[in-house]
Amino acid sequence: MESKKVVVIDEWLMPKGVFKLKLLLRFINYYKKLIKNFSQLAVPLM
């Protein structure tokens, strides 16, 4: 992955509200195969 894209995603604010959380999880769902331990990282968001 390009490091510029990773930095941008890392700087995103935490989602506030259920709707924004669902949008974030849909976006991340595309990349979950590339993120090590994704399921463990996503648990605190639920």
DSSP the chain: --HHHHHHHHTPPPP-SHHHHHHHHHHHHHHTTTSTTHHHHHGGG-
Q: What is the pLDDT of residues 1-46, one digit of tens each?
A: 567 767 777 777 788 899 988 888 888 788 777 878 877 877 776 6
The verdict on residue 4 lying in a domain is no
The verdict on residue 3 lying in a domain is no
The verdict on residue 8 lying in a domain is no
Q: How many domains does the chain have?
A: 1
Cβ contacts of 25 within 8 Å, gap of 6 or more: 42, 45
Confidence at residue 13, expressed as pLDDT on a 0 to 100 scale: 74
The verdict on residue 23 lying in a domain is yes
Range of the domain at 30: 13-45
Q: Does the pTM of the predicted model rise above 0.75?
A: no
